[in-house]
Structure 1
Amino acid sequence: MTRLAIGLIVGLASLPALAETPAAPSTMTDAERAAFRAEVRAYLLENPELLIEAMDVLQSRQEAADALRDVQTVASLHDEIFRNANDWVGGNPEGDITLVEFMDYRCGYCRKAYDEVEKLIRTDGNIRFVVKEFPILGEASLMSAQFAIAVRQLHGDAAYAKAHDALIRLRGEPNPETLGRLAGDLGLAAQPILDRMQAPEVMQVIRDNHALADKMQISGTPAFVLKDMVMRGYAPLEVMQDFVADARTDG
């Protein structure tokens, strides 16, 4: 059944004249059914705002169902989301709340969100921040994520943080030459990192993150998880601050 059809049903339920019709459509004769349909059509043409109202009700119910699904999914995948040893942890590691971001270095909205998320974490001071490498925009995205993960596996969290910052601001194409220069700028030997990028341990992190995103019905970036809530897509700083405040208020 299409959403429009469902909306029509919801709208019809609010029509007193039709609700008082003595015969149900399934027991009507062909002539009665045709008359009923004509009456419905005429009423809706005269009152088109009912369709908008019905669709608003449907959208609200769908949003509530989606939110409930997110709560249940996050609860069932809690450790994979918030406590995966393969993820870099920044902000305040002992913070009272954890914000998780699924991100792609080549995503324009991730880049737009970067400074705002950084400001949110810095000014709040009590947010534990987790990054999920989630390359979805092609080979350049994949190479960037491989480089970042390889840096972390070889050189640790501090080096990863610098690589992460550099990759999100990188304007050139992330090919071996560009990434080799980037490694040098970070004070790291390039070849071991480039060799590590294809290692099974690196690719497994990316596969695991894709599998997790699929379970959570996350298909784009950025996507944020906070407590039992999921925010899909970019949001300005003020909205992110409200997102954090709501999570804290909910206990």
Structure 2
Amino acid sequence: MSRLSLVLVLLVGLLAGGLGSLLLRSGADQTELKAAIAEVLAQQDKPKAAAALDPAAVNKLIEDYLMSDPTILTRMTDKLDAERQVASRAAMKSQLDAHAAEIYQAADNVVLGNPKGDVTLVEMFDYNCSYCRGALPDLATLMAEDPNLKVILKQFPILSDGSVDAARIAVLVGEDPKINYWDFHRKMFAERGEVGASQALQVAEQVGGNRAELMLDMNGKKATDAIQATYKLAKALNIGGTPTYILGDEMIPGAVPIDQLRAKIANLRACGSTLCPAAAPIPAG
């Protein structure tokens, strides 16, 4: 309704009602009439409050929308998962960057493969870890087929006291330039049953180690400090199991298929991350 129409209606109503009779009887001028009309128009110009939403109606609209395309929920979940993965990987990379020196430059690191390789695979292991034993052939294959792969082994004895004793001897073996650590490593995992000081000393002697010196030094500061440093690193990185691999910007818990490791190594060379962004689709035509 236009303002002019509204004014005419108001005039008719006022004149027909008590106010009209009063104004006509009193001979009043039009000032009061104008004021009454102005007040009504002012109330008409005020913004109206939004009507309260009916929850039942809103719920029905949402339900109808989702039922019209049920894949919406799947897409929402996928997007949320992708965003969480991005955030998780960013946090992981930040942790690894903060502890790069402890990971790659520790004095007790055992280096295998190509010391100047363009990709470094770190394995934290325990000599009583059956999964580490099972993953050993894959590690050997990766080093054999990839001449630019550098491998770092870090003693992380967490399964038993025997594991700790074996790791103490292994630290000393790793620092002896006369011993081929890879030979020691393979023989240790070839041992049957749980290994400890006795087995580690026997294997060390087989590959050229001095049994008496190893027995004398195994509880010394060098071996103790090396193992404690790895424990400290594992705590900082929230690593609690073996094997755990560190590759570029990713920590990989558990033994994983060799093809996964190959793919991650290839990605690291291709884009600097173990997970490369998906390639953009090629336009049709």
TM-score of the alignment, normalized to the shorter chain, above 0.5: yes
Over 3 Å counting, the alpha-carbon distance change for 1:177 and 1:97 in structure 2 is closer
- Per-residue CA deviations over 1:90-122 (Å, capped at 9, x if unaligned) read 100111111111111111211111110110111
Contact 1:144 1:167 in 2 (8 A): no
Contact residue 163 and residue 196 of structure 2 kept, 8 A: no
**Structure 1 residue 161 and structure 2 residue 182: aligned?**
yes
Q: Does 1:181 align with 2:202?
A: yes
Instruction: Check 1:139–1:56 CA distance in 2 against 1; reply closer, same or farther (3 A cut).
Output: farther
Within 5 Å, give how 1:130-169 maps onto structure 2. 130-153=152-175, 155-156=176-177, 158-169=179-190
Identity among equivalent positions (%) equals: 28
Further displaced range: 190-199 or 122-131? 190-199
SS at structure 2 position matched to 1:158: coil
The one-letter amino acid of 1:161's match is: W
Q: 1:248, CA displacement in angstroms?
A: 0.5
- Could you report, residue by residue, the CA deviation over 1:72-103 in whole angstroms, capped at 9, with x for unpaired residues? 11112222211222201110011111111111
- 2:102 corresponds to: 80
**8 A contact 2:169–2:197 mirrored in 1:** no
1:240 equivalent in alignment to 2:240:
no
Matched, 1:67 2:93: no
Match for 1:170: what amino acid?
Answer: E
Task: Provide the C-alpha distance between the structure 1 equivalents of 2:107 and 2:251, rounded to a whole number of angstroms.
Answer: 21
Q: How does 1:196-207 map to 2 (within 5 A)?
A: 196-207=217-228
Instruction: Report which of the two structures shows the higher radius of gyration computed on alpha carbons.
Output: 2
Q: Cα offset for 1:134? A: 0.8
Q: 1:115 — aligned with what?
A: 137
Residues 179/133 of structure 1: CA separation in 2 closer, same or farther (3 Å cut)? closer
Number of corresponding residues: 222
Relative contact order higher in (CA < 8 Å, ≥ 6 apart): 1
Whole-angstrom CA distance in 2 between matches of 1:169 and 1:53: 49
Q: Quote how far apart the aligned CAs of 1:58 are.
A: 4.5
> 1: distance between equivalents of 2:71 and 2:215?
60
CA contact (8 A) 1:88 1:157 kept: no
Q: Does 1:127 align with 2:152?
A: no
Which ranges in structure 1 are unaligned for 5 or more consecutive residues?
A: 1-21
Question: Retained in 2: the 8 A contact 1:99–1:224?
Answer: yes
Instruction: Quote the Cα distance in structure 2 between the aligned partners of 1:50 and 1:136.
Output: 46
- TM-score of the superposition, structure 2-length normalised? 0.66
1:66 Cα deviation after fit: 1.7
